[in-house]
Amino acid sequence: MVHKIGERIQRFRKEQAMSQEEFGAVLNVSRQAISKWENGDSLPDVYNLIAISRLFHISIDELVLGTPTALYSKNIIQDVREKRKKSLLYGRLCILLASLVLTPPLIIMDALNVKNPTFGAVAAGAISLVGIITFFAVHYFLKAMHLKEELTYLGKIKTEKLNAE
């Protein structure tokens, strides 16, 4: 397997018409390190695998396993879009629920000018519940933001992959 990875690295490097020196300079490693990878004497570390896959516009699976993956397929992008929509929906529902739970006790307490300890305890419980719901709302909104960044990244990679072809 190590030899196969080396063969693939060499093939991709030669397709780009790069010498081992040039390739090493791009990755900030020595020509000897490139030679060892290509001969199967050693493997690049994870950071170099990532850099190599980005440089050659291929997935790490394709580099390591030799099998092109559907990393840039519409299905993955569509799945991320759907997850983002769900996260936004859950976040909005949590905010709505929080406002519905918090508002009536506070309005009633203010309107009736109640200083009853029992009612105060109920209000404190409601406020705690609102805090928990707000936590989940923030969680889902942050998740949606991360998914948006992932979509942007996948779209950028897909565009680069299409432009390279």
Tens-place pLDDT, residues 38-66? 998 999 999 899 889 888 888 888 888 88
Q: Is the pLDDT of residue 163 over 70?
A: no
For residue 125, how far is the Cα from the chain centroid?
Answer: 36
pLDDT per residue over 75-105, tens digit each?
666 777 788 788 878 888 877 777 777 677 6
Amino acid identity of residue 86, one-letter, is K
Give the pLDDT confidence score for residue 64 in this predicted structure.
Answer: 86
Q: Is the pLDDT of residue 151 over 90?
A: no
Q: What is the Cα–Cα distance from 71 to 22, expressed in whole angstroms?
A: 28
153 membership: H or E segment, kind and range: helix 117-164
Which carries the bigger pLDDT value, residue 84 or residue 154? 84
Closest alpha carbon to 39 in 20, 17, 58, 56: 20
Q: How far is CA 54 from CA 49, 69, 94, 157, 164, in A?
A: 9, 14, 39, 9, 12
Average pLDDT score, the chain: 78
Give the pLDDT confidence score for residue 80 in this predicted structure.
Answer: 72
Say what the pTM is.
0.42
Give the pLDDT confidence score for residue 105 in this predicted structure.
Answer: 67
For residue 61, what are the contacts with CB-CB under 8 A and spacing of at least 6?
67, 68, 69, 71
H helices of 16-116, in order, are 20-27, 31-39, 46-55, 60-65, 74-112
Which carries the bigger pLDDT value, residue 145 or residue 106? 145
Which carries the bigger pLDDT value, residue 97 or residue 6? 6
Q: Are 151 and 80 in contact (CB under 8 A)?
A: yes
